[in-house]
Each structure stands twice: as structure tokens, then as C-alpha cells.
């Protein structure tokens, strides 16, 4: 769908590479410009035959070239590249792109209608411009970690870098909107996406409840501030199951399979507002009941009764789940070093079809010669650039 769209990718680590991987999944051509030494995630464990699993999670569908942007000839390569591109993505610390000569104002002199997307931790204005923006810091400062975990226990970090992922998704949306606008106006755009803004926005009803009512969220573990019961319960075998009785009809069905007519008729638990108000009484009762049977027995009972539920899977169970097995979300692609490797594919279907990956995560600098030849560099010029360490090449 984005065939013919070309992206110059200066980003590294997660948020930016996630953006460009999605654009690549949608058909765009991605040129990943890495610094000498490469994207630092190439050095992040765990490794599979020397290749970082972390790096391979967000860098398929890209060509890699390593350019020393501190050198004038390195900058000249970039200026030639940008003339051939539609989109630039970067996630450097504020001020770095200006020092490297790859900021929006500089690059649009070489490509007037360029769409330039900057992904920043705390934006480029305000009191935190130079504050490090690691995901865990944003999870803490957004209020997210004040709502995770359980009362009286330490706050809990969500296990993956969801702040980067949310920011990446907002960046992709913004880039696609800018592309659409450019089709009508012929004009480019400078987009700035802040990780801090992104996670506060993505928390949706949690901050909105506070803004509208002044009510501070409680730390409810797996529970929900507005629905009861809607959380995980431990079963007899030590495994957990989620029960999501999101309305009174489901609550009544749940009481039936629990064999607890008394709970169904108890005025304290009649309606969802009643159950929310009296959760501290109800939840311990339900916890005791769920500990009487193993998880598989509860899943059969809940399924038969039509009560929304879900087992709390470990990852090995996720990839044995019949839906995941049949969905095609896990695909494979041939890596030049590792052979067939698994990849999590783009989650949307188009006309019932899942988008296959075009190319594997690249070996560092693998496409340098190819890219420079397309720009018109001669073989002798390329060899000189390699010899002088302006670029590096894996060949």
C-alpha cells in the first residue's frame, strides 16, 4: 500500500525503529542509517548466534547503511539520500540533529516536501527537554505505575516498553495523515511526537476519571476501577484465570456456576455499582471459591455458561493457543545468517490477507554498496569512503 514511498530512518533502540518497521510492513522502502558501531540494540541480549533478538524484533524490511554523520562527506551522502525520500524519522536527543546537520530545516532545503517525524521523550520545549526518557521513567511519571500493582505493595512496571510502542503508533498515524495531506497540497510537514504526551493520552479513562471527577485511582492489581468482578483469580493448581463479569447478566450467570444463589440475591452485590462499592467484601469470597478447582475446570464451566473469561497464559501457552496458531500472526522469513527465523507479523488483515515481511532484519551495513550505487557513486568512490571510515560495509 505504501509501495513507492521511501523512508530515511535515523532512529535507534525502539520507538523510532518500531515506526519504520510498520511503515515497511505497509510497503514502504526503509533505509536505516546507523552510526559507526550500529544501532545500540544490536548489542542487547539475548543473542541468537550473535544476533540480538531485541534488534530483530523491530528492524525487518530495512536496508542498512552505516554513515559517520560527523564527517562532511557523510552528511553529503545523507543530503543525496533525502532527495530520493518521502519521510525522515529520527529519535535523537534534542539538539543532536542540529549538530549532525540532519534537522528538519536543513533537510527540507534538499527536499522541500519532506515529511519529517521526530520522536522525543519530553518534546523539544518545556522543563524536561534534556531529561533522559527511558520507558520506566515515563511509566512512572505518567501516573501509570501509581495504578499498577496492589495496595501496600511496590508499583509495578508493565513488562514491555509500552510507552515507546504507543508513541510509535501515534507517529505512524501522524505520518500517514501527513502523506495524505501532501497528496492534496504538495507540502511537507514536521511532526513531533512526545513519549510523555503519548502515554498520558493512551491511559484514556484513567486520567479522564481524575480530570472530570477529581477521584484518584486506586491500585487494584488486575482489578478494574469501574467493574467488579473484573480481574484475575488464583485457581487450585496455582494458575490464574481472568473473569470479566462486565454487566449484571454475566454476574448472575457467574453466581449460577459458582453455586452461590446467596451471592446473586445479596443486596450488596445486586448491581455493578453495588459490587464496586463492596469489592473489599466480595473479592475475598470469590478468591476463596476459585481456589477450589484447577484452571481448566473453571474454563470449561465459564465457557459453558457464557461468562467472559481468559486464562492467564505464560508465553509458551500463548503460542500453543489455537487462535494464535491459526491466525498467522507468527510468520517466518529467511535471515542470511540464521536461516528461517520467526517474526510477529503486522496484526491487521487486508482483504483477509496478512502482510508478509519483505526482508529480514539487516546485517549492519549490508546494503551500503547497493544504496551508494543507486545514488551514482562509482566503485572507486565507494571503496574510498569505506577505507576512510565514512561508511562501513559488511561485504
Q: In whole angstroms, what is the distance from residue 11 CA to residue 13 CA?
A: 7
Which residues in 101-255 belong to E strands, given as ranges? 115-120, 189-194, 230-234, 240-244
**Taking Cα atoms as reference points, which of 158, 161, 167 lies closest to residue 19?**
167
194, β-bridge pairs = 120
Specify whether 164 is catalytic.
yes
Q: How many helical (H) and strand (E) elements, i.e. helices and strands, does the chain have?
A: 18, 16
Residues whose CB falls within 8 Å of the CB of residue 346, separated by 6 or more in sequence, listed in order = 22, 25, 26, 354, 355
164, 266, 274, 395: the catalytic one is 164
Q: In whole angstroms, what is the distance from residue 98 CA to residue 73 CA?
A: 17
Residue 266: all three cell numbers together: 445479596
What is the number of alpha carbons within 13 Å of residue 82 lying toward its C-beta? 26
Name the CA dihedral angle for 190, 196, 199, 200, rounded to a multiple of 10 degrees: -110
Q: In whole angstroms, what is the distance from residue 159 CA to residue 148 CA?
A: 11
Residue 11: all three cell numbers together: 532512529
Residue 361: all three cell numbers together: 532484519
| C-beta of residue 50 within 8 angstroms of C-beta of residue 24 | no
Which residues in 71-200 belong to E strands, given as ranges? 87-90, 115-120, 189-194
Angle made by CA atoms 241, 247, 249, in degrees to the nearest 5: 95
DSSP 8-class letter at 12: -
Which residues in the chain belong to E strands, given as ranges? 6-9, 29-34, 47-48, 51-52, 62-67, 87-90, 115-120, 189-194, 230-234, 240-244, 309-311, 330-335, 339-344, 349-350, 353-354, 391-392
Residue 165: all three cell numbers together: 510502542
Active site residues: 164
Amino acid at each position: 500500500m505504501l509501495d513507492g514511498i521511501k523512508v530515511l530512518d535515523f532512529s535507534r533502540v525502539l520507538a523510532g525503529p518500531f515506526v519504520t518497521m510498520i511503515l515497511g510492513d505497509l510497503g514502504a522502502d526503509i533505509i536505516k542509517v546507523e552510526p559507526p558501531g550500529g544501532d545500540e540494540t544490536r548489542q542487547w541480549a539475548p543473542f541468537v548466534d550473535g544476533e540480538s533478538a531485541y534488534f530483530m524484533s523491530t528492524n525487518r524490511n530495512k536496508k542498512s547503511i552505516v554513515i559517520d554523520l560527523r564527517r562532511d562527506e557523510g552528511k553529503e551522502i545523507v543530503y543525496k539520500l533525502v532527495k530520493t525520500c518521502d519521510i525522515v524519522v529520527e529519535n535523537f536527543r534534542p539538539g543532536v540533529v542540529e549538530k549532525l546537520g540532519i534537522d528538519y530545516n536543513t533537510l527540507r532545503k534538499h527536499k522541500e516536501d519532506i515529511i519529517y517525524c521526530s520522536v522525543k521523550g519530553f518534546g523539544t520545549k518545556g522543563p524536561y527537554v534534556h531529561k533522559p526518557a527511558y520507558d520506566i521513567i515515563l511509566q512512572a511519571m505518567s501516573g501509570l505505575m501509581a495504578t499498577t500493582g496492589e495496595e501496600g505493595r511496590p508499583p509495578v512496571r508493565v513488562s514491555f516498553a509500552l510507552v515507546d510502542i504507543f508513541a510509535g503508533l501515534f507517529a505512524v498515524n501522524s505520518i500517514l495523515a501527513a502523506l495524505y495531506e501532501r497528496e492534496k497540497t504538495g507540502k511537507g510537514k514536521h511532526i513531533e511526537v512526545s513519549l510523555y504526551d503519548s502515554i498520558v493520552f493512551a491511559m484514556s479513562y484513567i486520567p479522564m476519571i481524575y480530570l472530570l471527577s477529581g477521584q484518584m485511582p486506586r491500585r487494584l492489581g488486575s482489578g478494574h476501577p469501574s467493574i467488579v468482578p473484573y480481574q484475575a483469580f488464583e485457581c487450585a493448581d496455582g494458575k490464574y484465570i481472568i473473569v470479566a463479569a462486565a454487566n449484571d447478566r454475566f454476574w448472575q450467570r457467574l453466581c449460577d456456576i459458582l453455586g452461590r444463589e446467596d451471592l446473586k440475591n445479596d443486596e450488596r452485590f445486586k448491581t455493578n455499582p453495588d459490587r464496586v462499592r463492596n469489592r473489599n467484601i466480595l473479592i475475598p469470597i470469590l478468591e476463596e471459591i476459585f481456589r477450589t478447582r484447577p484452571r481448566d475446570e473453571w474454563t470449561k464451566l465459564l465457557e459453558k455458561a457464557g461468562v467472559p473469561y481468559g486464562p492467564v497464559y505464560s508465553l509458551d501457552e500463548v503460542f500453543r493457543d489455537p487462535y494464535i496458531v491459526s491466525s498467522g500472526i507468527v510468520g517466518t522469513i529467511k535471515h542470511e545468517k540464521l536461516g528461517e527465523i520467526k517474526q510477529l507479523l503486522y496484526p491487521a488483515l487486508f482483504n483477509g490477507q496478512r502482510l508478509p515481511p519483505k526482508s529480514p532484519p539487516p546485517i549492519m551495513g549490508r546494503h551500503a554498496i547497493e544504496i551508494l550505487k543507486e545514488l551514482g557513486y562509482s566503485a572507486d568512490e565507494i571503496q574510498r569512503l569505506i577505507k576512510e571510515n565514512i561508511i562501513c560495509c559488511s561485504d
